[in-house]
Amino acid sequence: MPEEGSAEVFGRRVDNRSPAWKSDIGVVGETHGFYRSWTAEENLRFLSRFMPGWSDQRVHRLADRLGLPLGKKVEQLSKGHLAKLALVAALGHGPRLLLLDEPTSGLDPVVRAEVLDVLREVLEDGEHAIFYSTHVLSDIARLADELVFLREGSVLLRSSKDALTERWARISFRLGEADVAVAGAVEYRRVRAEHQVVSHDRDASIAHLRELGAEAMEQSRMTIDEIAVAILRGGHHVAAS
């Protein structure tokens, strides 16, 4: 793993001695550092002192939209309300980049949908970006343009979402009662003469199966959830194939 290097955020060099680059970033983590004995409003007011570009109008508009009770103490807020407070706090200064770490983990479906709706609207103008780390794969399908799959800190695969859904497929076919290696296949199973593969390159697999004389070929698209499981299960084999 690299131990040194440099980074830029919107052309500004990341440097702890000059924190101006942080003004373009909003962060939501799995845990929140709010003062529990303060109200949500008091926590937001405190944060506003350190955030250039903070807009009380933006904050109250978001809070109203999400049904966030600003007058309640943090210790009295539900998990869903805490997640909403964290999102409002991250968006209060109008950042162009959001760093989100499991922002919807453990939330009920209604709260998750509300949070994702706000995030999708953030992306609509094309001037904002979200770096979204999650194990909730259904969130990916709703928000992501580009996906990076990691395991133990190593990149297994990086691809646009559209490329994944176009290239990956589940293919069934008939071809004798012996196992067969199929180009592009990352998973394979057979029951007598009935074969099925999961392919990361549908066109290559179909072309190869035609060369082999496969019959009764049927292919079906895979969801992002299914593709992610295959990638993470296949590990470096998928990335290298």
Query: In this structure, what CATH number is given to the domain that contains residue 86?
Result: 3.40.50.300
**How is the chain split among helix, strand and coil, in percent rounded to 5?**
40, 25, 35
138-185 pLDDT tens trace = 787 788 889 998 888 888 899 999 999 999 999 999 999 899 999 999
121 has pLDDT over 60 = yes
Tell me which residue range forms the domain holding 68: 8-144
Distance CA(102)–CA(221), nearest Å, equals: 27
Domain assignment present for 99: yes
Structurally, the chain folds into a number of domains equal to 2
| Predicted model pTM | 0.77
Question: Is there a single domain that holds both residue 135 and residue 170?
Answer: no
Cβ contact 51:122 at 8 Å: no
Domain assignment present for 155: no
134 has pLDDT over 70 = yes
Question: Is there a single domain that holds both residue 132 and residue 194?
Answer: no
Domain assignment present for 156: no
Domain assignment present for 2: no
Question: What's the CATH number where 187 sits?
Answer: 3.30.70
Question: Is there a single domain that holds both residue 97 and residue 212?
Answer: no
Question: Is there a single domain that holds both residue 84 and residue 174?
Answer: no
